[in-house]
Chains A and B, each alone.
Chain A
Amino acid sequence: MRLHPLTSLAAAGSTAVITTAAASLPLSLAVMGAAVALSARSGTARRLLPAAAAVLLPLGLSLLVMHGLFFPEGRTVLAQWGMARVTAEGLAFALERAAQLGAVVLALLVFSFSVSVPDLVAVLSSRGLHGRFAFVLASTLTLLPAITSRVERIRQAQESRGLVVRRGLLHRAAAFRLQAVPLVLSLIEDAGTRTAALEARGFSNPGPRTSYRAVPDPRGQRVLRAALLAAAAAAVAARLLLTQAGS
């Protein structure tokens, strides 16, 4: 079954919210495992895992160093070098936080790497106010590779004018100016033309719109979305109540 983009968004979002609210290490680990398995099955793991690692490794390392070595609230001291004290509480805190964040990040990344962006844009565009948000999202994803290749072209052009990137702050600042100025100038000029073209094609029309791309939205999935959102809301409410009761 092909999932409607909003259904997969709701699934990823509510998973993230529920994991955060539950704050339980086993659940976090289970969600991480499930997310990796899901992306492996849909064949996106090769792109997803490097992206997730780029986010999670520095974060995890930072947490481990920060709380593993310095945790003034910790009582059970495992080892001590001068100022640094390794405490059981610190390590547990770092581990729990890292797992919780890992689960959230992986759940959301499974969504972004599996969703069909054109479908998502079509769905958002046909829903009133979201049209402009959809424009920003889709346009950013289209422009990113286009602008990176333009940067490469500008670098070549400037090297042909004698740009050599040398060591030293001043040299690098100068090299940055040589490349950033033509880039920004041409992007602002192009944006002006694009604005006029979009306006002429009714980008700001206040009235109703239709969509060329048809994205089926079966009834079952609409029910599922509502259930997912309700579950997320319930999890948040439960956590807040428990905290109230506890304090």
Chain B
Amino acid sequence: MSAAPHSTESLPVLSAGIRSFTYHGDGLPVLEGIDLDLAPGTLTAVLGASGSGKSTLGRLLSGWLPPGTGGTLRGFLELAGTRLEFGAGGDPRINPAEWGRHVGFVPQDPAAVLSTVRATVAEELAFGLENAAVEPQAMKAAAEHTAALLGLTEFLERDPGSLSGGQMRRLAIGCAIIAGPRVLIMDEPFASLDTAGTAGLARLLQGLVRLGTAVVVLSQVVDAPLLAAGTWVVLENGSVTGSGTPAGLQAGSGLLPPGIRASGGAPAPAVDHAGAAHADRLLPRGGAGVPALELRGVCFGYGTRGNAANGRTTWRRIRGGSTAAHASAQVLQGISLRVRRGEIVAVTGPNGAGKSTLLRHVNGLLRPTAGRVLVNGRDIAGEPAGEAARSVGLLFQQPRDQLFERTALREVRFGLDRLFHPDEAAGRALEALSAVGLAGASDAHPAELPASGQRLLALATVLARKPAVLALDEPTVAMDGGGLALLDAAVRSAAGEGAAVVLVTHDLDYARAVAHRVVTLDGGRLDG
């Protein structure tokens, strides 16, 4: 090394040689054979499908998953000239605070970063500086500077818990960069950002790279800003299967695994798993009878009467404060929609237009203040949501809220015994699992499946009941390429068997690709 004549600028600030990393109690390593060198002033993209080990790698590099407490590492980490060897006995224990001064990390779920003990955005930003005993004047200046960089200046005095998803992500980035780390690692930073948000974040990253930060983006989607990266590293099943410049790895070379989605949000062309005919864009015959789902003049506003489905308020009576009683604006104003058997209807619209609110009327979680909801011609007004669930399957944005069993198979079988003969229930459960490509994971713990797998499992629990109406809330979020293809096939095949499908998405390309009909919800009304 001493022979290298050129400037130290190109020497890596953070290097890793991971022979293997294994979580406690796991038989097999999650990471194997990874060598990384991160030089100052570079942008590196680590691309891999859901479950490829990206997040584990990011946490390991940033000291968020210290070897020893989190799992067993064999190999080395080298930061700012200090090399730590692991796996040879007497492993060093990483000091996460010191490591954090050099390496900032932004996880997938930015809300989990909040300290929960600071009352304003400014104080939240300053939390790390307070712990390093920075003088108040310097802290104030740093918080204001960072907020300006992230476009958070107007929110400095706001409660961090009241921020929207996009603002929360910017705050999480601010907390990571306020101390000026030399390495910044971000996990899926572009997920669920719209075009303007993506462009703004890309500009911020360029600025940091220019100032000499080594920036790493972990992603399952080749977002537009990643095309400008210096290096791509492809991660598959915990190992590096390729690395090089974007140009060298781009489409056509076949080096990118199918799980990595192309930029722009459009799904990979539907792989025909379930044998769904491509002619299914033609509407199925026999739609002349009663529509499977019909909304007639549905109106709804929060704060008006009847927003709680069954009036149980035991959970909320703790601090005596009512939280939802202020916004009494009408969210839905006379929505009428008919969905026939076998038809796929996509509802799009801007954030906050009430798409999820609309979807919650389909099974009676929310009750219209005026108008009616009919499933197979029957008004569901008097039915508890749990009863309506027999004929309406609703899939939420957060699949983990719906999962509670110890294995994927038990999860899908849950409740089927009450509806079907035990033998039939077992058959249906296995069938539904294989329809979403999880037949091999039937013994896995639902909470340990990757994000894509959790959503597919939640879908399987719904499909196993063969509902007349299938309602999906933002099904594409956090899905990798493989998962999206499976979702696509499963939805088409359910429609092919006669289910009426309503899906809500902000992703217009996806809506056009999958649906027979796209309608837009805006200002409380449906067009299209």
Contacts and interface: CB of A to CB of B under 8 A. Distances in A.
B97 A160 contact: no
A201 B403 CA distance: 32
A194 B353 CA distance: 31
B269 to A, nearest CB: 31
A156 interface: yes
B404 interface: yes
Nearest to A181: B404
Contacts, number: 186
A167 interface: no
B75 to A, nearest CB: 20
A213 B319 contact: no
A157 B133 contact: no
B11 to A, nearest CB: 24
A160 B136 CA distance: 50
B154 interface: no
Interface string A156-175: 11111111110000000000
A115 interface: no
A200 B62 contact: yes
Interface in B378-414: 384-387, 389-390, 392-396, 398, 400-404, 414
Given A153-B398, A154-B401, A189 B447 contact: yes
B126 interface: yes
Interface in A44-101: 47, 50-51
Main secondary structure of the interface of A (DSSP, over half): helix
B415 to A, nearest CB: 5
A125 B133 CA distance: 12
Contacts of A203: 97, 131
Interface in A159-207: 159-165, 177-178, 181-182, 185-186, 189-190, 193-194, 196-205, 207
Contact of A193 (B107, B120, B363, B402): B107
Interface stretch (B110-118, B192-200, B230-238, B483-491): B110-118
B207 interface: no
B132 interface: yes
Contacts of A211: 130, 136
B134 A156 contact: no
Given A159-B384, A164-B387, A194-B116, A145 B323 contact: yes
A200 B105 contact: yes
Interface stretch (A11-19, A29-37, A133-141, A228-236): A133-141
A200 B63 contact: yes
Q: How big is chain A's contact interface, by range? A: 35 or more
B119 interface: yes
A157 B402 contact: yes
Interface string B299-334: 000000000011010011011110100000000000
A5 to B, nearest CB: 13
A121 B386 contact: no
A210 B139 contact: yes
Given A139-B117, A209-B130, A151 B323 contact: no
Indicate the member of B113, B131, B402 with the most A CB atoms within 10 Å: B131
Contacts of B394: 160
A213 B403 CA distance: 42
B80 to A, nearest CB: 16
Interface of B: 59, 62-65, 96-97, 99-100, 104-105, 107, 109, 112-120, 122-123, 126-136, 139-140, 143, 161, 175, 309-310, 312, 315-316, 318-321, 323, 360, 363, 365, 384-387, 389-390, 392-396, 398, 400-404, 414-415, 447, 461-462, 465
Given A145-B323, A161-B389, 11 more contacts: A138-B117, A157-B402, A159-B385, A160-B389, A185-B447, A190-B109, A190-B112, A202-B131, A205-B132, A209-B131, A213-B119
The 5 closest A-B pairs by CB, nearest first: A200-B100, A202-B131, A164-B386, A201-B128, A118-B119
Interface of A: 47, 50-51, 117-118, 121, 125, 134-135, 138-139, 142-146, 148-149, 151-165, 177-178, 181-182, 185-186, 189-190, 193-194, 196-205, 207-214
13 contacts: A138-B117, A139-B117, A159-B385, A160-B394, A162-B386, A186-B400, A190-B112, A199-B63, A199-B100, A201-B100, A201-B128, A209-B133, A212-B139
